[in-house]
Every structure is written in C-alpha cells, then in structure tokens.
Amino acid sequence: MTTMDTVTITVDAILFDMDGTLIDSTPGVFKAWATFSKDYSLGDSVEIAHATHGRRLYDTLKEYCQIDDEAELIASAEIDRFENEVIEGGPTALPGAAALIEQLHSPDIRGWNIVTSASNGYAPRALARAGIPLPPDGLLVTSNDVSHGKPHPAPYLAGAEKCGKDPTKCLVVEDAIAGLKSGRAAGAKTLAVCTSTPRETLLASDAHPDYVVTDLTQVSARWVDGKVEDAIALNEKFKTLKADSSCSNGENGCVGDKFAQCVGGKFVAQACAPGTVCAALPLVNSPGTSITCTTAADRDARIAATGATPGGAAPPPPPAAPPAGDNNAGNGGAAGGDAQTSLTLDPDVIAKGFDNDGQSVPAAGQVASLTSKNNFINFCKTVNLPITNGAQVTGGSCNPAPMGVIPSTKNMPSSKFVFPTNGATIKPDTQFTIQMAIRNLETGNFVNAQQNYFAAPQQLNAQGIIRGHSHVVIELLTSMEQTTPLDPNVFAFFKGLNGKANGAGILTADVDKGLPAGVYKLSSINSAANHQPVLTPIAQHGSLDDAVYFTVA
C-alpha cells in the first residue's frame, strides 16, 4: 500500500454516525435480529441485519415485524428489548474513533455531533460502553428527535441545527449508504468509512461520497479559529503510480508529471504543457481538490495555503479536471485529416453569431450574452471547477461537450402519463405499473451513466428524431395544496426507462412495493442518449415532459 499526502478541508462542524462509524455493535445486532427473526418468523436474520443497517430501529421493526400500531410498538417495549440485546453484545470503539473524538472534544465549542438511527435510550449507553464521549451540551440526535429516518435529510439537518451551523458547511461521516444519502440530501459534504460496506460498493452506489477512507485512523482534526480542519489521508495511489498500475475506469491521477486517466483498467498518461506538471490542488472556494496541470510554484503555494506539506495532495473520489495545458497547442489544421480527432478548431464550424452579445436589439430586462470567437472551446479554463469528464460530479463541474444536433419543430418530443392519471387514487403498499405515452423520441438509447454522463452531443436518427430515453420520478408532498418547491435530492421512487417503448408508444415502470399512504407528484424526465435534457429549436413551445398528482390511500 502506498502512502498519500493529505487533503485538508475546513468545515464548521463534523456530524458523525454512530453504529458502524464510531462503534461496532455487529455481534449484538446479529444476536438481536436472530432473536426477533425467531419470535416473528422473519427468515434469514443475517440478511435482515445487513438490509436494515443505517436505518431507524423504529422503522425496521414496523416493516419487518409488521407492528403497524405505533402505540403497540412503544408499549410492547420491543425497541427496548432489541436494544438491550445489542448492549449485551458489547459495543466497542472502531479504529481511530476514540482518538479523533478526543481531538474534537471541547466543552466550549459546539462543532461536532453524533447523529444516530438508534433511540435516546440506547445511544448514550452504547457510547459509554465503547468509551466514546457524548457530544457537548447534549447535542446528540437520535431517532426520537426526528420524524423521518435516514436516508431522509431530517437527521443531519437536525444535527447541524443543534450545532448552530449551516448544513452545507458541515462534514457528515458515515459508513452506511442510507446515511451518506441522508447527509448529501441535507447539503453536507460526506466522508465514507469502509468499516461495514466495501469501498467498491460505496463508490458504485447512488450515495456518491465526496471522500472515502478505510477507517478513522486516516482522519485527524484540529480547531482553527472556531472551525474544524480535517486532514484526510486518502490512502492508495499517486506518488508511486505507474502507467500499468491497476485502476478503476473514470479515475484520474498523476503518473510522474503527466495527467492520467484510467481507461480499460490502465492509466493513459497525457503530457502537460511545457513548464507545468500534474498535481492535485485544493479548490479555492470550496472543500476538495481538482487534478490538473499547473506550475510547481502554483502547486506548492496553493497546498501550503491549506497548512499541508507542498508536493501534491490526494484527490477525493469524484473525477476531476483533465490537463489544463495544451488547450492552445497547434497540431495542424483539420483539412486533409480526421476532424473528429484533430485538436484544431475547423473554421467551417465556427459560429460567428457567438461573438454577438445580443444587445444591439435591446429589450427590457435583457442581459448581455457571453461571447466567443472560437466556439467557447476553452470556456472551462475560465472557471475553477473540474471537467465533468463523463461522470456525475455532485459538487459541480464544467462540461466541454457541444450541445449537439437540434431537431425541427415538427419533431419536438413530448410525453403523457396514461397511469396513474392526474387526481387518481391507488392503494398503499401495493404494486402498480406506471405507463407513459411518448412521441418524437427514439427510446432505448442510453449510455453508461457513470462514465459517459453528458459526454457527447445530442444526436438525431435518420428521421430527425432525438435518440434518447426517459425517466420517471415520484416525490412525496405534504398535501395536494403544497406550494413550497420540492428538494430534487429527495424522492420516493426513481426509474430510468431505458428500454424501447412498445408498439403503442408506451413506456412502463413497475413500482414493485407500491408507496405508503400520502399525496405524490409523478414527473417524466425526457433525455438524450447521454442523459442531458432534450434540446429543441425554439424557446416558445409546450412542455416536453408531463407531471400528474395522485393520492395513495
């Protein structure tokens, strides 16, 4: 294993999960589920233990033991009985947890908290048994403090509120996918520890952690002007990387002084511009790093400004920027060669209208357009963000791919839900099939969403129809009269409709477990093959998507 330099981030507070992050209660949890599986005839207790990890015990007992009456659940003391068995199993502190909490623990600073899916009766006992101190001033957030458990954002929003901090300026430390999704939905940065879930599973999940470490021995912290500064050692790769080092597709790094991208399980290196080297640099206005080509002096100055040792910092898991150098290097014209491999802009495709800011014909409220004489080919050099590079970069990125081919007005796509219809009522917790009619979209065209996201222009088929696919998403409302905008990070059901529509032009999606009682919004998201929203030739047009509202009761 190679040793990496550190990545330093500064946040206002750190919000820790408990089980699987700070303490290990696995033996007790397995023992408790074995007892309850026998009492309630549930089947494989180990499978249930894994499936319920990171969720509130209140929710999992209701689901698996089918205790529908809340009063019965509390009065029967089943939660207490379960948690007592876990305590008897002897929770222990996980590697690095006690040392990290010791670095943070200060009675005068409300800068860290524990946000757990356990109850307020269990959590303090488990922490005491494992030798982990409680947060200052009783800041602990338990299942009793929130109406929704993880992956809902409520737990970590409550954790940030108890610290008096903005959740977007907090770091959530979690081992479970449900918890990481909860932290991200709350707007926080997320650090995943691979104590209960393999690294590969975490990175492949829809939790999209910003940082990943093996355990908390790789994390240290200190207070700087009332803020907590994390030096996160992201082990593996970098200083000893070679071109033949194994890697995961989409991964970026530096091989020597060259920028390297992983293609087909091996690094492909690209030389930086003269006078520059490849380095991972801390971002200027936000936590994290980007991998790019820069001068050695700039590299050392930016890393030194974080308090870390100059010489390059390790990248967080999300893919970052390819080389900034060579964008203006001449390699000969496209004439007589392959225009799709040439690094020179062909004059025939320059849009001269891009040099017009539109203000020669003024209109009330109209603002000037950005302008370019070279089709914005180097636009991403003007922003301090990583290149999208085919990945879903949750922290923001810059995408250099052209918008692509635009259909005619007669070929603009649209969709309409066939079932459920607007105002419909369906039964709770009962399987149903979404049906959506689609027109003017050649369905069944979708690329690898992890490696080719927004990575190619929109394309048309021979009939001038956009090649693409659709999605459906269901969101829970507080009522049919809700007027507050919804949070796009939170949804009850999401499905990519990657197959072709049937002969009647209908796409379908099965909601296998149905939905709990409530009021919901169902929307379509029609996309081109590379997952970008479909583009049309005119500004004034009808909606390209559909939405209906229905009740589950």
Q: How far apart are CA 278 and CA 272, in angstroms?
A: 7
Amino acid at 377: I
Distance CA 79, CA 75 (A): 9
* Catalytic site includes residue 17: yes
Contact 258, 274 (CB under 8 A): no
Strands (DSSP E) found in 389-539: 414-419, 425-426, 432-439, 441-442, 466-477, 493-497, 506-511, 518-528
Q: Which of 5, 12, 17, 546 is catalytic?
A: 17
Residue among 497, 509, 408, 493 nearest 445 (CA):
497
Whole-number Å distance between alpha carbons of 166 and 490: 19
Q: Give the three-state DSSP class for 116.
A: coil
List the catalytic residue out of 12, 19, 24, 545: 19
Q: Are 4 and 238 in contact (CB under 8 A)?
A: yes
Catalytic-residue membership of 244: no
SS (H, E, C) 17-58: CCECCCEECHHHHHHHHHHHHHHHCCCCHHHHHHHCCCCCHH
CA distances to 221, 281, 412, 415, 447 from 529, in Å:
44, 33, 15, 17, 6
Q: Which tokens go with 337?
A: 């060669």
Q: Is 517 exposed, middle or buried (0-12, 13-18, 19+ CB in 10 A)?
A: exposed
State the CB neighbour count (10 A cutoff) for residue 69: 10
How far apart are the C-alpha atoms of 68 and 66, rounded to whole Å? 6
Residue reference for tokens 């206002």: 12
Residues 237 and 262: beta-carbon distance below 8 Å: no
Short-list 431, 364, 403, CA closest to 537: 403
Active site residues per annotation: 17, 19
